[in-house]
Structure 1
């Protein structure tokens, strides 16, 4: 057979959690409602995606903004007296940072958004233990939101949306510096130091957003009441047949989850993710400008503003061109130049420029790596497991949290050198992935031609859905 798109879509986005299984079965029986998928004009489709963006984007961005504020505000607290008052001599501060990443990596799998409430309550009675609890509480948000977005957007509309969502993190970098500068003036209020007020006020804001979130979030496109029936049907159909003429498999089976563990794509994307997570977390937690507390906090703002602009531009053109790797390569180059400048004996002004490049490159690169793997995994459950495994790359963040030692100030040669090592891992992994993706795509094109001529293997629609991203009609995004 040749694979011709089905005229009756049977798409139904599903959740990886078991509590949605009854909902999945109900939707299996309601597919007949989607038989007459509306044909939208380009303008109607643009209005539809704007409607979805405006409903999902703000609350997801706010949640991730607070997540990044709560994990990164320890850097501002360090400038504001945390190390002195808690007597964090030697490598104690670095150990506290590391204890966030270990449980964060181990627990990072798709999870429910109620965890937002959990991390907002965690407010530092014992720094090391609480950082570990914070890592557990935050672990599910990022992969969970990425997985959630795949229910709504076709794969070549994904990076721009991830970029807008992740832009909240870069905004957090800028906002946290300004906020810490303002909160610093509360030092002494109620007998608390300024760093204590940073944790208290930002944690309280997180709790407020967590209470609001359940009233704003929607589960699935086909149950979204803010959309018309025609719009719901269009999104479900568009997503299901995005890269397959027969649709992707969405029924739960354990073998689909295990398939992610045995997929070479996942394990090659993990070191690529490490090459970003190390520099990103290192530069977030340590911006050693060498100035007074207030000036250092204000100097953190411009690099993150520039990074936000960069990642939005990268996301827009990556989706438009339907390519990921050129923009990931650009981010790696920026990090390479930035760390090379900072490890040198260049003047402080030049090193500050290098810091711009590091922040811009690492933050703009991350959405590309995440969306690239998501684009190249087919099947909702396999994709969910694969995105969770990608979080193992955050172990480089744990390493980055201990390599900037106080005794290495002001040049931090060891820290910058190891960050350059992570960047080098990216330069090795990226061309390997591109080569393998191109080779597989070429092989599948040859197989497609053989099938159409009647000489190759023939597959039923069910077999193609079962094969998922291994099917001959599936093409990897480059």
Structure 2
């Protein structure tokens, strides 16, 4: 929950029954009343227990074992899916090192166009994918898109010219668009706000592992050059695409729609997961598919603040992941050596991503974590642009990766914490992630061959996005949210809130006086 939020007793939270509502012990204008309403619709597995006994249950090993069970089922599988997703969108960089451009007759600028077209379709589709997910359910949605993009990835290995490559990249963007925002929304339907950060960071660390694993895999697959009459880069696309298709087929059995339908949980555990989420929420979850929640997302200033921050995350992310093999080639590292040298920076980034996720969940200092982490990245890109010394530049790739990857999951966890109402939160996540990915168009066109090995434009643009959007945006958001919390605690919103109808209060979500923002 946000800082300084008013604590409620276990009796009000866990035993928020119809009796509490009917006898007037819970004020209808407060979040406690709304929690009690939602809790009264679920059986109470701890009926008859005292406040102390309830608190012991929520704090003890039983609760930890329940969430560990959820973790073991959800996180490894979702992380694998994202690893495949990121691998499939960025393996074109490894294919480039395996002479794809020469075989397809590509000329200067063609590679950048192949990168750009992916992000255009990806960004167009992303804002609406979470709304589709809510309509189709996660099982149908995730299974469908994963099988689809796996097929497209496989067919990319059969293209014979630039036009075919562009078409495949366009459809790959459309198919992959739903996974990342969908999973971030999906995790928010299982975990409390104080738990979402570390799970998100573990999930997103798969992107760094994809870069690390991708280099090793590409180095091995490229040795299949000539088998079946196809070049090594074709096999990179084909084998990785077929692997994704197989994962998509298993997805039908691995993904459960929501906590209340999860067959890997007992009936009692399903109820407990739902109740702990209701207690954690600062307001109504707004499960109804009501367009007013979408309008509320569009009118909320925080939506656009996070969009600015996220473009500062994603522009360097895609530039780094798509062009690291190119940057290493400019240092003089080619072939298998170039592929293998791309592994260590990603491994460091993956470890730091998880560490930041743990720390931010414990402290609730999401803004501070962004500020500290991006500072590391800024130092890394300064090293890359300031010298042509290969050793110094290679050190810069470690700092650059370490300063990029942790901010992605931390920023999206920040979004999850500060928007109330599941549909509003889902739509905001789609907007934030979609806008961030649209900036992949910028990432695709800033590393110019004529500027190697310093890549003034590429490293300079990344520095600009990190300093202005990510660092500046995080500072602005932190200060603005702190001021908003102070005004709410001072009671400046109470009069307006008192004049609202119950319907208006339900739609208001996080724009309520007792909702405190995570800083």
- Normalised by the length of structure 1, the TM-score is 0.91
The residue number in structure 1 matching 2:147 is: 117
Partner of 1:101: 119
1:68 to 86, 99, 120: 86
Q: Does 1:34 align with 2:43?
A: yes
Partner of 1:201: 239
C-alpha offsets along residues 111-146 of structure 1, whole Å, 9 cap, x if unaligned? 421201111011223111111110000001100011
* Correspondence 1:444 to 2:454: no
**1:409 corresponds to 2:447:** no
Distance 1:3 1:370, change over 3 A: closer
- Specify whether residues 447 and 29 from structure 1 end up closer, same or farther in structure 2 by C-alpha distance, changes over 3 A only: closer
Offset at 1:361? 1.2
Shift of 1:302: 0.4
Q: How many Å apart are 1:92 and its aligned residue?
A: 0.6
Displacement over 3 Å in runs of 4+: 2-10, 28-33, 35-39, 454-466
Deviations 1:165-220 (A, max 9, x none): 11111111110000001111111111111100000000000000000011111111
Query: What is the correspondence of 1:35-434 to structure 2 with a 5 Å cutoff?
Result: 35-36=44-45, 39=54, 40=57, 41-108=59-126, 109-110=129-130, 111=133, 112-113=141-142, 114-122=144-152, 123-124=155-156, 125=159, 126-244=164-282, 247-287=284-324, 288-290=327-329, 291-391=333-433, 392-424=435-467, 425-434=469-478
Tell me the distance in 2 between the aligned counterparts of 1:30 and 1:214.
30
Shift of 1:332: 1.3
Aligned residues: 456
Going from structure 1 to structure 2, the CA distance change for 1:387 and 1:9 (only over 3 Å counts) comes to farther
User: Is the Cα–Cα contact under 8 Å of residues 373 and 404 in structure 2 kept in the other structure?
Assistant: yes
Instruction: Tell whether 2:52 aligns with 1:8.
Output: no
What is the deviation of 1:8?
3.2
- Structure 1 pair 455–414 and aligned structure 2 pair: CA distance change class (3 A): closer
SS at match of 1:469: coil
8 Å Cα contact 1:77-1:195 kept in structure 2 = yes
Cα distance in 1 for partners of 2:17, 2:78 equals: 29
Unaligned stretches of 5+ residues in structure 2:
1-5, 19-36, 48-53, 134-140
Contact 2:45 2:272 in 1 (8 A): no
| CA pair 262-460 structure 1, distance change in 2 beyond 3 A | closer
Aligned mates of 2:496, 2:42 — CA distance in 1: 38
How far the C-alpha of 1:161 sits from its partner, in A, is 0.3
For normalisation by structure 2, the TM-score amounts to 0.84
Deviation of the 1:9 alpha carbon: 6.8
Contact 1:241-1:248 within 8 A present in 2 as well: no
C-alpha change, 1:3 and 1:293, in structure 2 (3 Å) is: closer
Matched, 1:468 2:516: no
Aligned-residue Cα RMSD (Å) equals 2.3
Judge conservation of contact 2:497–2:513 (CA < 8 Å) in 1: no
- Once the two structures are superposed, what CA deviation does each residue of 1:337-366 show, in whole Å capped at 9, x if it has no partner? 111111112511111111011111111110
**Alignment partner, residue 20 of structure 1:** none
Deviates further, 378-387 or 399-408:
399-408
* 1:297-327 CA distance string (max 9 Å, x none): 0001001110110001000111011221111
Segments of 5+ residues of structure 1 without an aligned counterpart are 11-27
Deviation for aligned residue 1:222? 1.3
Distance in 2 between residues matched to 1:332 and 1:48, nearest whole Å: 35
CA contact (8 A) 1:65 1:172 kept: yes
Report the CA distance shift for 1:447/1:249 in structure 2 as closer, same or farther (over 3 A): farther
Q: Is the 8 A contact 1:94 1:401 kept in 2?
A: yes
For 1:241, what is the secondary structure of its paired residue? Answer: helix
Work out the CA distance in 1 between the residues paired with 2:425 and 2:39: 24
1:25 equivalent in structure 2: none
Distance in 2 of aligned mates of 1:236 and 1:190: 53
Q: 1:469 to 1:33 in 2, by over 3 A?
A: closer
Return the alpha-carbon distance in structure 2 between the equivalents of residues 29 and 240 of structure 1. 7
